Amino acid sequence: MATQTLTPTADAISRVKRGLASYISYLAACDMNSAFSEYVLYEPILRILTAQSYEVECEYECPGVVQPAVGDKKKLDFYARKTGSVLALEVKWAKTMKPNLDRDVEKLRGVLAVEPRTRALLCVFGRKSNIESLQLSIGPHKERGKMMCADFGKTRFGCRVFQLMKAAAAA
């Protein structure tokens, strides 16, 4: 059986999906469920992208969006660069089958508007039952690889990554 060789970007995305599903399953085995939130996903993502030679910035001020005059700026969860690849990554823990992705998508669309070569990625993580049938109405996008799920009977956590595509110019 021939193995498929992934591009470096596809390999990094695959590692993030596999790593998150496994890491959260491990935390569930440690009875850490009460600590679960989107922020628990940050550390493993940072480690994986860094291990793949990305220079990573967390909470990166988002280009291309209108920033508030006062208060917190709109920030990307991750902005990662290495030769030949720039990733803007927003992370969402889907606690329901219909997570609200509006803010995440707004930031990713903003990045694409000013940096069209950036891969604008939406990482959706959660229980398998919440993400396996997820239908996105976020404009042009494609899923990057298949859902990865750590299915150990009692705990079933999965991860899907979608790349937002630059919208076609209005005619």
Residue 1 belongs to some domain of the structure: no
Classify residue 133 by burial, with Cβ atoms within 10 Å: 0-12, 13-18, 19+.
Answer: exposed
Q: What is the pLDDT of residues 30-70, one digit of tens each?
A: 999 888 999 999 999 999 999 999 999 999 999 988 888 88
Residue 169 belongs to some domain of the structure: no
12's tokens: 């990094």
Query: Total structural domains in the chain?
Result: 1
Enclosing domain of residue 138: 8-64+71-164
Residue 3 belongs to some domain of the structure: no
70's tokens: 């006062």
Q: What is the pLDDT of residues 87-97, one digit of tens each?
A: 999 999 999 99
C-alpha to C-alpha distances, 98 to 130, 154, 161, nearest whole angstrom: 8, 23, 16
